[in-house]
Structure 1
Amino acid sequence: MIKAATIKEVKDNVREWKKQGLTIGLVPTMGYLHEGHASLIKRARGECDKVIVSDFVNPIQFGPKEDLATYPRDFDADCELCEGLGTDLIFHPEPSEMYLEGFHSYVGVDTLSTELCGKSRPIHFNGVCTVVSKLFNITEADKAYFGQKDAQQLAIVKRMVRDLNFNIEIVGCPIIREESGLAKSSRNTYLSEEEREKALVLHKALTVGEEMVRSGEKDANVVKKAVTDIIESEPLARVDYVEIVDWNELQKVDKIDGPILTAVAVYFGDKVRLIDNFIVEEAVK
């Protein structure tokens, strides 16, 4: 497995692979890899000739009071996991490699970034879109793999690719959960044993909400209240948002009559913010 720290190293390898007519799959990550990331890498390995994993904690998607400095990192463990899954190249640049002095160019997607996480993290998705655009250009990947846990990110990246005519296919992959039902996340490492146990209320609440939607409940506010009430029954949980939005535009809906995303963001303790969701792609008659 190639360990590349510079854009030139990546481009040199990509150039050779393209000469051979090989397809490239990209798995963008911020490192501290877990089974969720592994599922993306496995999917890419099964569909592409070459697999690139980017391992980069992107500073421009963190706000001034967010956890950039303390975000978990373990590059050696990441390399071990990637190599074991057949990754061909892991790209681990320094921020100065990705953002040269005097960097002023950003990419963003309006409307889709204004709700959900965009309300409390106003710069986040511009940072995501910018770094993802750079990775698409650097790797010239044919496919890029994103997890559904970050559903708003997945929707925004898909829209950016469509709107800006990127020559790449975005592949959304299912949420990977612990046996308990807790969605896999690098931020789970911040949870105390008690908080980890109490965080199971997210999956419980969303399961109830999804059953309501699939059983034919059309009133989004009824479903939203049911999900919210279950989460708020846990004293350690502090709700940031519980929302039901149109899956295409990510705008709030009152009536469920098409594809919808039900998404939650909840704090456990002072700083740990977890997200989870479910998607119903077709209207239930």
Structure 2
Amino acid sequence: MMEVITTISEIRTRITKERKAGKVISLVPTMGYLHRGHQSLIEKARAESDLVVVSIFVNPLQFGPNEDYDRYPRDLERDKVIAEVAGADLIFFPSVNEMYPVKPKTYVEVNELTNQLCGKSRPGHFRGVTTVVSKLFHIIQPDFAYFGLKDAQQVAVIQQMVEDLNMPVTIVPCPIVREEDGLALSSRNVYLTSEERSQATILYQSLQKAKEWIGEGITETKKLKDRIRNFIETQPLARIDYVEILSFPSLEPVTEIHSTSQAIIALAVWFDKTRLIDNLIINQNEV
């Protein structure tokens, strides 16, 4: 039966016991309000390891002063049902005071990769992400950690941190899970009004159009970005934060998409107070 553990000392004691028994341990880090995207990560972890830990922690360090930390959706009872059905063994559910008993003086920060996309739009966000993920890796010491590619920049940043700091964990990127109409699943989708929800499908549609345009031979990134922007702006409620095309996973600017390299088309679009992100990773064989 799945357990919920709230303290660092207790989860460490439990993990030590399981590791001594020779178990392969996986971690699925989340901020809760789980959906089918999280469920897919847990299911993959279940298939590939002996013990699956799901962390649920709304991390204040990764929210800016005017962001949605206070209203971010939270529902532990709902999360417990979803996590258990998906195959989790443990939920690590620490309080803010448990994770940060005093204001931290030490942070983990990845440079360069965080200068683009959400790192540019949300200063300090990724410092908060890498710091809390580093703490979770030290607390739980997983063999594998599962992250969704909806936030592909986050995956790239965490992979860089793991490589640079020789952390003994394998990062497992997992595909974006979408609604039937293409909208990428996100805990923040709950904020959308019915009209905003209807128009939000423009993100996925614009990525699909971009794929078509690339297939037609339009590979200059400036032209592609202009077309994507114009397409998104056909929806009156959409307010673009960014449309970018970068190399992946290095996240460096590119002027053209080439068949010899991998690129990402990344979007962030506001619908009133709700900011949605989406992306498409273009592989070599798709150009």
TM range (shorter): over 0.9
Quickly say closer, same or farther: Cα 1:207–1:135, change in 2 above 3 A. same
User: What is the RMSD of the two structures over their aligned residues, measured on CA atoms?
Assistant: 1.1
1-side partners of 2:201 and 2:286: how far apart?
A: 27
Of stretches 57-66 and 245-254 in structure 1, the one that deviates more from structure 2 is: 245-254
Equivalent-residue separation in structure 1 for 2:102 and 2:171 (angstroms): 30
2:264 pairs with one of 247, 261, 264: 261
| Structure 1 pair 195–12 and aligned structure 2 pair: CA distance change class (3 A) | same
1:168 and 2:169 aligned: yes
* Cα gap change, 1:35 to 1:135, in 2 (>3 Å): same
Please give the per-residue CA displacement for 1:69-92, whole angstroms capped at 9, x wherever unaligned: 000000000011111122110001
Consecutive unaligned residues of structure 1, counting only runs of 5 or more, are none
Partner of 2:242: 241
Q: Is the aligned partner of 1:35 residue 2:36?
A: yes
Work out the CA distance in 2 between the residues paired with 1:252 and 1:183: 24
Distance across 1 between alignment mates of 2:217 and 2:23: 46
Q: Counterpart in 2 of 1:195? A: 196
Correspondence list, 1:4-83, <5 A: 4-83=5-84
CA contact (8 A) 1:108 1:129 kept: yes
Please report how far the alpha carbon of residue 156 of structure 1 lies from its aligned counterpart in structure 2 after TM superposition.
0.5
Deviation, 1:102, is 3.9
8 Å CA contact 1:259–1:283 kept in 2: the answer is no
| Unpaired segments ≥5 residues, structure 2 | none
2:116 matches 1:115: yes
Quick one: structure 1 residues 242 and 140, their matched pair in 2 at CA, closer, same or farther if it must change by over 3 Å? same
The answer to which of 10-19 and 93-102 deviates more is 93-102
2:213 equivalent in structure 1: 212
1:42, 1:215 → 2: CA distance? 37
What's the TM-score once normalised by structure 2's chain length? 0.96
The one-letter amino acid of 1:103's match is: P
Deviation at 1:213? 2.7
Tell me: CA distance 1:19–1:214, structure 2 relative to 1, closer, same or farther (3 Å).
farther
Match of residue 278 from structure 2: 276
Q: 1:214 to 1:17 in 2, by over 3 A?
A: farther
- Paired residues, what number? 284
Taking the aligned partners of 1:49 and 1:209, their CA distance within structure 2 comes to 41
Q: Secondary structure at the match of 2:208?
A: helix
- Give the superposition deviation at 1:93: 0.4
- Match of 1:113, SS state, is helix
Task: Quote how far apart the aligned CAs of 1:214 are.
Answer: 4.3
The DSSP-based 3-state class of the residue aligned with 1:110 is coil
Name the aligned partner's letter for residue 267 of structure 1: W
235-244 or 210-219: bigger deviation: 210-219
* Structure 1 segment 66-105 matched on structure 2, within 5 A: 66-105=67-106
CA contact 1:215–1:284 (8 Å) conserved in 2: no
Cα distance in 2 between the residues matched to 1:216 and 1:17:
53
Counterpart residue type for residue 228 of structure 1? R
% same residue: 50
Higher mean C-alpha displacement, 94-103 vs 143-152: 94-103
What is the one-letter code of the residue matched to 2:279? N
